[in-house]
Amino acid sequence: MHEFIFHNPTKIDFGKGREQHIGQHLADHHITKVLLTFGSDRIKKDGLFDTVVASLTEHNIAYVELGGIVSNPVMSKVYEGIELAKAETVDAVLSVGGGSVLDSAKAIAAGVKYAGDAWDLFIGKGAVTAALPIFDILTLAATGSEMNSGAVVTNETTKQKFAINSPFTFPKVSVVNPELMKTISRDYLVYSAADIIAHSIEGYFTATEQPKLQSRLVETNIKTVIETTEILLENPNDYDARAEFAWAATLALNGLTYAGTAGFSYPNHMIEHSLSALYNVPHGAGLSVIMPAWMKWYRHKNPEQFKRFGKEIFGGTADEGIAHLEAWFDKIGTPTRLSQFEIDASEINRIKENVAGNAQYFGIADIYTDEVITKILLDAL
């Protein structure tokens, strides 16, 4: 087991109606004015916005709105948020939405405290040394951003989808009400399932040190996601399945499964980020295309762990494990082929070039050479 520091200070307030506590949570932290970030106007139609505002008002907390944050969130919106937060001198950022809204909120919170161009923080030109306090009400479970310090944003100009990470960008409080997630579309449910499974397997397969305890934790999350996704596809109103799905999403990327492991990397994310950046495909959908192809290429590099995966998750061999996962993606309806995005062989070079940039950034350019990436992409056609 590798040495580690585990420190996750985020408070999770989980359950039905918990969004009504948000004013109290902010008041506990002496917040008086927030930048309220969100995506589409859907939250204004379904009552969530009103509930949040009522709770803020009850605690005399002022707010400024920043709506219109899109999936695969973009730096232009982050810049807009930073300007607004500064002009209005808010003392916190409150995200109401899924991972894209929350990641934008984190980037804004860090950007406000950084003197230079906020993109510097993503490319290692600057470091996050402070951030406005971050709070959120989660409406989609997938990224795990509600209990970690990461934020992924796309720079539309450079076509780079990069991340920040710092001790300052853990949310102070994340409100997770699974009931708010029951209106998620069928597509986004299955993309989210793929996303959580991707978060689970990246470390599980690539770590050079991966204790059994941590493997079991990962398998717990994967089994839960498979089981609850199937229940939710039958009955989107099953609260308990929705809740277990949501909590598995949080546990998959809150540092717990990684504590004690070492040498891991995020190759599936590295490749997928290029698909999102170039074609704006949903992140989870991109991942379900890349994972089976990557697994077929990678399996001989860690045969024992693939054997374990096949047995523990699907009760079969290593090869059956990969085949079953791909078949399960097909069954639930998340893409497994680039052709499903209308991406054909003529695009391989373009993707490959973008991935090459990511490979530098992810620190695994030595393994993921042009040849390797081409092989994986061709297999995913």
What are the E-state strand segments in 295-379? Answer: none
Q: Does 112 bind a second copy (CB under 8 A)?
A: no
34/248 with CB nearer a second copy: 248
Residues 124-183 that bind a second copy (CB under 8 A): 178
The distance of Cα 366 from the centroid of its chain, to the nearest Å, equals: 25
Ramachandran angles phi, psi of 77, nearest 5°: -70, -35
Interface with a second copy includes 220 (CB under 8 A)? Answer: yes
SS3 of 261-282: CECCCCHHHHHHHHHHHHHCCC
The least CB distance from residue 4 to a second copy, in Å, is: 5
Q: Does 14 bind a second copy (CB under 8 A)?
A: yes
C-alpha–C-alpha distance, residues 78 and 33, integer Å: 18
**Shortest approach of a second copy to residue 95 CB, angstroms?**
19
Q: CA 69 to CA 106: how far, in whole Å?
A: 13
Residue whose structure tokens are 């598995």 = 248
Among residues 243, 253, 289, 322, the one that binds a second copy under rule CB under 8 A: 243
Choose, by CB under 8 A, the member of 30, 185, 212, 304 that binds a second copy.
Answer: 212
Does 263 contact a second copy by CB under 8 A?
A: no
Question: Is residue 11 involved in binding a second copy (CB under 8 A)?
Answer: yes
E-only strand ranges, 257-377: none
* Cβ proximity to a second copy, 116 vs 167, nearer residue: 167
Strand-pairing partners, residue 95, are 37, 136
Is 77 in a helix, a strand, or coil?
helix
Minimum Å gap between C-beta 201 and a second copy is: 17
6 is a site residue for a second copy (CB under 8 A):
yes
Does 234 interact with a second copy (rule: CB under 8 A)? no
Residue in this structure with the two tokens 């680039």, named with its chain if needed: 338
In this structure, are residues 82 and 112 in contact, taking their beta carbons and an 8 Å threshold? yes
Span from 40-48, 75-83, 240-248, 263-271 in contact with a second copy (CB under 8 A): 240-248
Binding residue for a second copy, selected from 54, 130, 213, 345, defined by CB under 8 A: 213
> Out of 86, 216, 301, 331, which residue is the one contacting a second copy (CB under 8 A)?
216
Least spacing, CB of residue 278 vs a second copy, in Å: 36
- H or E segment and range at residue 200: helix 186-206
Size of the site for a second copy (CB under 8 A): 39
Q: Using CB under 8 A, which of 55, 100, 192, 224 touches a second copy?
A: 224
Question: For residue 194, is it left (φ>0), alpha (ψ between -120 and 50) or beta?
Answer: alpha
Nearest CA among 196, 146, 193, 184 for reference residue 13: 146
| 8-state DSSP, 19 | G
Candidates 284, 251, 255; CA nearest to 176 is 251
CB 9 within 8 A of CB 44: no
Nearest-approach distance from CB 217 to a second copy, in angstroms: 6
Q: Would you say how long the chain is, in residues?
A: 381
Residues 188 and 141: their CA atoms lie apart, in Å, by 10
**Which listed range, 11-19, 266-274, 280-288, 333-341, lies at the site for a second copy (CB under 8 A)?**
11-19
- Per rule CB under 8 A, is residue 5 in the interface with a second copy? yes
How far is CA 322 from each of CA 78, 293, 294, 319, 346, rounded to the nearest angstrom? 38, 9, 10, 5, 27
Q: Are strands 33-38 and 62-66 parallel, antiparallel or unpaired?
A: parallel
13 binds a second copy (CB under 8 A): yes
Judged by CB under 8 A, the residue of 126, 260, 286, 292 near a second copy is 260
Near a second copy by CB under 8 A: residue from 107, 259, 289, 332:
259
Instruction: Rule CB under 8 A: choose which of 217, 287, 290, 343 binds a second copy.
Output: 217
10 touches a second copy (CB under 8 A): yes
Give the binding range for a second copy (CB under 8 A) out of 46-54, 65-73, 246-254, 354-362. Answer: 246-254
Note the residues at the interface with a second copy (CB under 8 A).
1-16, 18, 178, 211-213, 216-217, 219-221, 223-224, 227, 239-240, 243-244, 247-248, 251, 256, 259-260
